[in-house]
């Protein structure tokens, strides 16, 4: 096909050249318009020829590509069919082997399980049989494995040789087909047909050889498995007989052990019953004792609760009675004063006005003069408007806004009345301070009064009264106590200065005495130096004189030991 296309192209080129030469010869005789028209016709003819050539070439390439694709597809299908058949055959062989091995493994598992259940009690006697069985099984399995490995190896070698031969045939056929495809389509078709026939024949040969080999392998495995099954059956029979004898022996021993265990259990039951009876009686006695003690504690707690209830009732009576409530506030105020101040720093029932009422408590403040009898009193009075406070609390708990406002106004009015009462009855400057203290016994009432905006400022400005709760009064009393201490220090400061002047005078005399002692010490030191000089002179004079032993010297010159000690003692 390629040669035909080349011949057509050459013929067309020769015709084109001849036509051009003819046109050049007749150029002088032809009109320009005719020449132009002929050139147009020539270009169109040339385009038609080129299109025809391109179409013919494309058609030829398509046909060749289609033929090549068909051949490749046929080869691919043939290879796929061959591979599928080989894989399927291998899968069948593997599944058959797996089934046989699974069955054999199941038989071995069942046999091992039965043997294990029967041989638990007599492991020592059956150890030899089990060891022999394991050795036989391992030997058989090893022989089977070696045979299978050898067979599979031979099969793989044969398959490899056949595949290599087949690959060589395919390569040669492919090369021949390629060379023939460059030629004529008929020859390529014939070559492809021959290739398919050869491939089919080769595949048939490989399939038959593989089938034959697999059949031989299956027969060999079947024979070996039958031999192994027969051996396992014989071994099972022998084990059954041995296990039967072992079972009889074990049953006899178990029966005797059951009889002994029954006797021992009866003895243990009697012992446990006796101990359990004693322990139960002991535990019950201890439990009843604990219950009695707890009941006594409960009765004691009930008595304490009754006492507490009585105290609460008494407190309620105190708070509901106006007179006792005032007394309770005064008692609390007196306790605070006694805890913080000294007894001589406050007084009770003090008359601040001539012919007037007496204030319950008043703090004694020092006056301007040094006379102790002239003091300035700070009056303190306790007030306890509990009714108004309770009404306010009840209104707040019930969320009654109008009741809260009314109770708040009543409480403010009552506090103002109490402050005015203190201002009118007890304030009398200069005998008293120009302000007094209104004591509220509970912190809740004090906090509620302080919370009222401007109430304490109005009372301080108009009535000259300071409102205080327990904590606030404690702080005020501590401040006053510190003031008392500061004042006492100021009063005693003159005495301290006089004492320091006397100490200074005595210190001057002490310096004179020390100076005299120093002079005496200098004189004694000079005398000692003179004695040392004389001693050294005498020592030099006696240098040549021989010394006597201590004993002889003591005998010749007896000196009292007390005198030696006195001389040895230092001068203090």
Residue 92 has pLDDT above 60, yes or no: yes
Q: Which helix (H) or strand (E) holds 563?
A: helix 561-568
- Is 233 in the same domain as 380? no
| 568 or 283, greater pLDDT | 283
- Is 490 in the same domain as 402? yes
Longest C-alpha distance within the chain, in Å? 193
pLDDT of residue 426: 82
In a domain, 88, yes or no: yes
- Tell the residue number behind the tokens 């494995």, with chain if given: 145
For the stretch 389-403, pLDDT in tens is 778 878 888 887 888
Residue 471 has pLDDT above 80, yes or no: yes
300: confidence class by pLDDT, cuts 50, 70, 90: confident
Q: Which helix (H) or strand (E) holds 412?
A: helix 401-426
| 166 or 281, greater pLDDT | 281
In a domain, 240, yes or no: yes
- Is 244 in the same domain as 392? no
Query: What is the rounded CA–CA span in Å between residue 495 and residue 319?
Result: 52
Say if residues 470 and 441 touch (Cβ distance below 8 Å).
Answer: yes
In a domain, 266, yes or no: no
Residue 314 has pLDDT above 70, yes or no: no
| 382 or 38, greater pLDDT | 382
Query: What is the rounded CA–CA span in Å between residue 272 and residue 15?
Result: 135
pLDDT of residue 184: 56
Q: In degrees, to the nearest 5, what angle opens at C-alpha 423 toward C-alphas 422 and 427?
A: 100
pLDDT of residue 570: 45
Residue 248 has pLDDT above 70, yes or no: yes
- Is 248 in the same domain as 331? no
| Sign (positive or negative) of CA dihedral 293, 298, 303, 307 | positive
| 281 or 171, greater pLDDT | 281
Residue 572 has pLDDT above 50, yes or no: no
Helices 455-462 and 443-451: crossing angle in degrees, nearest 10, is 90
CB atoms within 10 A of CB 84: 10
| 184 or 343, greater pLDDT | 343
CB atoms within 10 A of CB 316: 10
- Is 4 in the same domain as 127? no
| 561 or 22, greater pLDDT | 22
For the stretch 424-453, pLDDT in tens is 888 877 788 888 888 888 788 888 888 888
Beta bridge partners of 436: 465
Q: How many structural domains compose the chain?
A: 3
**Given 3-state DSSP classes, what are the helix, strand and coil percentages for the chain, each rounded to the nearest 5?**
80, 5, 10
Residue 410 has pLDDT above 70, yes or no: yes
Which residues 6+ apart lie within 8 Å of 346 measured at CB?
337, 361, 362, 363, 364
- Is 26 in the same domain as 91? no
In a domain, 312, yes or no: no
Beta bridge partners of 379: 362
For the stretch 102-151, pLDDT in tens is 665 666 566 556 656 665 655 555 556 546 655 655 565 566 556 656 66
pLDDT of residue 521: 84
Q: Any long-range contacts for 386-393 (C-beta under 8 Å, 24+ apart)?
A: 386/319, 386/325, 386/445, 388/414, 389/444, 389/445, 389/448, 392/448
Q: Which region among 37-41, 64-68, 247-251, 534-538 has the lowest average model confidence (pLDDT)?
A: 37-41
- Is 47 in the same domain as 189? yes
- Tell which of 460, 495, 530 closes a domain: 495
Give the best-scoring range by mean pLDDT among 58-72, 309-323, 462-476. Answer: 462-476
- Is 480 in the same domain as 394? yes
For the stretch 149-176, pLDDT in tens is 666 566 556 656 655 665 565 566 556 6
Q: Which helix (H) or strand (E) holds 411?
A: helix 401-426
**Residue 424 domain boundaries:** 321-495
- Is 344 in the same domain as 490? yes
């Amino acid at each position: 096909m390629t040669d035909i296309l080349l011949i057509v192209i050459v013929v067309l080129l020769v015709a084109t050249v001849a036509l051009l030469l003819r046109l050049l010869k007749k150029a002088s005789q032809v009109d320009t318009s005719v020449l132009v028209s002929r050139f147009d016709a020539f270009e169109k003819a040339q385009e038609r020829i080129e299109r025809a050539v391109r179409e013919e070439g494309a058609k030829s390439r398509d046909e060749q590509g289609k033929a090549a694709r068909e051949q490749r597809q046929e080869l691919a299908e043939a290879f796929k069919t061959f591979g599928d058949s080989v894989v399927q055959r291998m899968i069948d062989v593997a599944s058959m082997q797996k089934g046989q091995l699974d069955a054999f493994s199941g038989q071995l598992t069942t046999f091992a399980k039965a043997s294990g259940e029967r041989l638990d009690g007599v492991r020592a006697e059956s150890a030899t049989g089990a060891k022999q069985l394991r050795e036989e099984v391992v030997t058989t399995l090893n022989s089977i494995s070696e045979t299978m490995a050898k067979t599979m190896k031979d099969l793989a070698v044969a398959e490899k040789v056949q595949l290599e031969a087949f690959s060589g045939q395919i390569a040669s056929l492919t090369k021949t087909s390629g060379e023939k495809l460059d030629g004529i389509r008929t020859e390529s078709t014939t070559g492809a047909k021959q290739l398919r026939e050869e491939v089919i024949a080769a595949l048939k040969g490989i399939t038959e050889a593989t089938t034959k080999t697999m059949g031989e392998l299956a027969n060999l495995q079947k024979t070996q498995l039958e031999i192994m099954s027969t051996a396992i059956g014989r071994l099972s029979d022998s084990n059954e007989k041995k296990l039967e004898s072992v079972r009889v022996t074990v049953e006899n021993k178990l029966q005797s052990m059951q009889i002994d265990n029954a006797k021992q259990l009866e003895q243990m039951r009697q012992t446990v019953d006796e101990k359990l009876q004693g322990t139960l009686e002991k535990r019950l006695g201890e439990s009843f004792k604990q219950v009695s003690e707890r009941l006594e504690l409960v009765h004691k707690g009930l008595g304490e609760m009754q006492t507490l209830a009585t105290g609460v009732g008494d407190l309620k009576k105190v708070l509901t009675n106006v007179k006792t409530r005032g007394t309770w506030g005064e008692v609390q105020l007196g306790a605070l004063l006694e805890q913080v101040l000294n007894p001589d720093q406050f007084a009770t029932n003090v008359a601040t006005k001539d012919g007037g009422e007496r204030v319950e408590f008043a703090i004694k403040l020092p006056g301007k003069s040094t006379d102790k009898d002239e003091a300035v009193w700070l009056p303190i009075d306790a007030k306890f408007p509990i009714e108004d406070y309770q009404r306010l609390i009840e209104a707040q708990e019930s969320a009654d806004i109008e009741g809260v406002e009314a109770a708040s106004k009543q409480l403010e009015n009552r506090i103002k009345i109490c402050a005015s009462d203190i201002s009118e009855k007890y304030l009398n400057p200069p005998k008293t301070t120009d302000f007094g203290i209104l004591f509220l016994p509970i912190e809740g009432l004090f906090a509620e009064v302080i919370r009222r905006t401007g109430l304490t400022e109005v009372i301080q400005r108009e009535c000259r009264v300071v409102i205080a709760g327990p904590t606030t009064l404690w702080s005020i009393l501590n401040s006053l106590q510190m003031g008392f201490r500061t004042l006492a220090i100021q009063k005693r400061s003159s005495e301290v200065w006089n004492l320091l002047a006397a100490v200074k005078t005595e210190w001057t005399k002490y310096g004179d005495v020390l100076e005299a002692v120093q002079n005496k010490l200098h004189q004694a030191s000079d005398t000692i130096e003179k004695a040392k000089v004389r001693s050294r002179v005498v020592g030099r004079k006696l240098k040549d004189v021989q010394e006597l032993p201590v004993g002889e010297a003591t005998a010749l010159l007896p000196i009292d030991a007390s005198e030696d000690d006195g001389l040895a003692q230092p001068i203090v």
